[in-house]
Amino acid sequence: MQLALSFTESSFCEFPLPQRLPRPRVKRAPRKTNTAVDIEQLYFDLLAIPDSEVDTYVWTDADIDRVREYMLHHALGVLLDRRNSLASRQEHWAWVMDEEDFGPFSFKTLAYFAGVDSELLREGLVRTLTKHQVLEQLTV
């Protein structure tokens, strides 16, 4: 206790505390954000490829990323829009809840490449669909 009392404000001035160090800056490559128009245009371009050129089309990583992003947005849009048919929404819900599929276009893969935790996204969908009283229809 006496040791603690022996320290005065003047003794702290002799040994100032270090200032907060600035955080190192990390330079990252700018990520091109794809608009919905870009993704839909790519999707329609892919559909418009003649059958004779389908086998020779060279897929780039950016093309695959755009298709994955489109598929995830489309599936979530179908689930949340009641104007879609019940069968279509049930099919998309089964795809979202599929635990067995680990393919290149599975829900978990698409969520991973979108930078989202698939389990958190599922939990959010369950809460949203339960709130709007739609979940009972989808889990048949």
105-136: pLDDT as tens digits: 899 999 998 888 999 999 999 999 999 888 88
131-137: long-range contacts at Cβ-Cβ below 8 A with a sequence spacing of 24 or more? 134/82, 134/89, 137/86, 137/89, 137/90
Does the pLDDT at position 1 exceed 50? no
**Residue type, position 78, single letter:** V
Q: What is the mean pLDDT of the chain?
A: 78
In a domain, 83, yes or no: yes
Question: Which has more confidence, 20 or 95?
Answer: 95
81 assigned to some structural domain: yes
39-63 core/surface letters (b: 16 or more CB in 10 A; e: else):
beebeeeeeeeeeeeeeeeeeeeee
Please check whether residue 111 is in contact with residue 118, taking contact to mean a CB–CB distance below 8 angstroms.
yes
pLDDT at 134: 85
Number of structural domains the chain divides into: 1
Examine residue 89 and state whether it is found in any structural domain, yes or no. Answer: yes
pLDDT for 108: 92
Which residue in 107, 133, 131, 134 sits closest to 121, CA to CA? Answer: 107
The pLDDT, as a whole number, for residue 16 is 58
pLDDT reported for residue 28: 60
Domain-located, residue 8: no
Share of the chain above pLDDT 90, in %: 27
Look at residue 16 and tell me if it is in a domain.
no
> Does residue 44 lie within any of the structural domains?
yes
The CB-side HSE value for 77 (13 A sphere, CA atoms) comes to 7
Q: Is residue 104 part of a domain?
A: yes
* Residue at 42 is within a domain: yes
pLDDT at position 21:
55
The per-residue pLDDT for 20 is: 62
Give the range of the structural domain holding residue 63, as residue numbers without chain letter. 33-48+58-140
